[in-house]
Structure 1
Amino acid sequence: MEFKDLEIFQMVAEKGTVSEVAKEFNYVQSNITSRIQKLEAELNTSLFNRHRRGMTLTPEGKALLGYCKKILLLTDEMKKAVQNENEPTGKLEIGTVETVYQLPIILTTYIKKYKNVDLSLFSGVTETLEEEVLNHKLDGAFVTESDFHPDLVSHEVFNEELVLISDMREYTLDELKDEPFLCFSEGCGYRARLETWYKDQNIIPRKVMEFGTLETILRSVSMGLGVSFVPKSSVAHMEQSGLIQCHTLPDKYSKIKTVFIRRSDTYLTASIKKFIETIETSKKAEPISN
């Protein structure tokens, strides 16, 4: 049994089709099929139910998948554990919410200094990113501080002020309450804060509209579609250009921390250790005042 066979098995289990996995590994489909058949022969059991819509795991396949994930995770940790402490290598997969003010300087500093690390960045909302770190799908993530799972440890990145933004028309706060609320999907820390404010004010938003990117939200607000609740640092340039206006809410709702989370029980590899050091260095080099 080879590690590559286990990698292929895990990916087929997750994607449900041989064709997608063949593209991922740049193999012909027959190669993927033969490796799965070889694994089944070696274990003397069927791992998949085959049907016209794809492949689903048998009970034996589900049992193997659990062990497979553990084996491949330990293999990855083993490789990382023998890295040169000062010259990290290998993959580093980081998640982030869309509004991390210092992210460009952190990434630029890290990538220029540690060129042998293959760093990938994935965006999402806090709740989703927390789940992916817990499930070992990400090495760490920049998220909004909350009550995290006990298996996670957090490193403070910076403090932020959230502001309610609207277009340039004149509004009273009561009028803003009636505007459509433009936001990310459920699980976003900023959305949760404004929803708490709405609740405390006994307000039911007239309309909630979900968007996939910050850029779309900001452009929509500037055109008068509705209001949103975002970090002040991410819209300072638009406020200065007269495209939007900012409205402050009490500290209870507006003061927030961005943190970097990782699993507390995984080996602290050289690549992730140096990434955390880079975060700390960026805080000293360019402190943010609110």
Structure 2
Amino acid sequence: MNIDTFKMIIAIVQTGSISGAAQQLGYAQSNISARVHQLETELRTTIFYRTNRGVILTDAGKKFYNRASNIVDLTEDTINQMKHPTKVEGNLRIGTLQSASETFLPPILTKYYHKFPKVRLAIKTGNPIDNVQQVLDYEIDGAIVGENIDKRDLISIPLVTEELCLISASPKTPDLKTASFLVFTVGCVYRKTTEDWLHSQNLNLHHPIEFNYLDAIMASVCAGLGISIVPKEIAQSYVDRKLLYMTELPKEFSSVQLDFIYRKDHFVNRPFEEFIKMLKNHSDSQQLILQ
């Protein structure tokens, strides 16, 4: 087993097939098939399920792939640092909340990309629970999450405090007992805030309508499907265009803290190190503004 074997496994996953990996790497398909078989025999486990459409990682294969990706990243980063100590290049994989991807994150990413154009950026929006699990499984380097997560085994960097509001299609105060709430899936910090607010008034989140996309929630609220709690920064442009109306929330439910988390044992390569510096500088500047 060597670094070339790891690269073969990575290429198979990225292309979805052994033939695709052979084409990408310039090897004979039989050579890669033999190497995979040898690896599975050596590890006494199955890395891939073979199907008519290609290959799929087994649970053991997912663990191997994640570690292999980290080893290859570490190796390439070490070589790059030895050859070019001032150059920053490699991979940076970040998970984020959809709201953050539309508000404070784009300027940070733009600044980062302009400063380090050789870094290969991959940004994944999704459910915070999934993003946290991917951080723990070494699938992504870090993630922007809300405050309602278990942060054991993780390092947390405070980023911003988001102001929240209730939005509706009518200027009338919504009836919380009858209105349908438009929410993200379980694990979302905005959904958790909604549930906590309702519980404080001895109400439950009844008849929730779940969405995967923030834009879909905003459009559906505008259409009168229901009401929702979202960041004020997202809602403001809709309010300005008179597409929906904003209602203030009680102070204890009017904001959420967003953090950036990553594993305590995460290998900090140069792309990740520079990204952390940029996040901390952004966080420090936000604190100065608040003061």
Size of the alignment, in residue pairs? 282
* Cα distance in 2 for residues equivalent to 1:120 and 1:256: 25
**1:35 aligned partner:** 32
TM-score, normalising length from structure 2?
0.81
TM-fit CA distance, 1:251: 2.7
Does 2:224 match 1:227?
Answer: no
Distance 1:33 1:201 in 2: 66
Alignment of 1:71-82 (within 5 A): 71-81=68-78
- Map of 1:109 onto structure 2: 111
Contact 1:182 1:208 in 2 (8 A): yes
The residue number in structure 2 matching 1:198 is: 198
Alignment of 1:274-289 (within 5 A): 274-283=274-283
Match of 2:95 in 1: 95
Please name the residue that 2:271 is paired with: 271
User: What is the distance in 1 between the residues matched to 2:106 and 2:261?
Assistant: 18
Code of the aligned partner of 1:171: K
CA distance in 1, matches of 2:232, 2:244: 11
Q: 1:152 aligns with which of 151, 154, 158?
A: 154
Unpaired runs of at least 5, structure 1: none
SS of residue in 1 equivalent to 2:124: strand
Aligned-partner residue type, residue 134 of structure 1: L
Q: Deviations over 1:152-187 (max 9, x none)?
A: 1111111111111111x24335x1442111111221
Which residues of 2 match residues 102-251 of structure 1 at below 5 A?
Answer: 102-167=104-169, 169-173=170-174, 175-251=175-251
Instruction: Decide which moves more: 224-233 or 261-270.
Output: 261-270
CA RMSD of aligned residues (A): 3.4
Contact 1:178 1:205 in 2 (8 A): no
Q: Does the 8 Å contact 1:141/1:261 carry over to 2?
A: yes
Q: Report the Cα offset of residue 89 of structure 1.
A: 0.6
Alpha carbons 1:8, 1:32 under 8 Å: kept: no
2:122 is paired with a residue whose SS is: strand
Contact 1:177 1:205 in 2 (8 A): no
Mapped partners of 1:93, 1:50: distance in 2: 28
Shift of 1:133: 0.8
Q: Could you list the per-position Cα deviations for residues 257-287 of structure 1 after superposition, in whole angstroms to 9, with x for gaps in the alignment?
A: 1111111112322211211222233345667
CA shift at 1:151, angstroms?
A: 1.1
Q: Distance in 2 between matches of 1:7 and 1:213?
A: 34
Note the C-alpha offset of 1:121: 0.6
1:98 corresponds to which letter in structure 2? Q
Instruction: Give the whole-Å Cα distance in 2 for the aligned partners of 1:171 and 1:41.
Output: 68
Q: TM-score, normalization: structure 1?
A: 0.81
Unaligned 5+ runs, structure 2: none
* Partner secondary structure for residue 99 of structure 1: helix
- Residue deviations 1:216-261 (CA, integer Å, cap 9, x gap): 1101101111011111111111112211111122232222111111
Answer yes or no: is the 8 Å Cα contact 1:105–1:282 preserved in 2: no
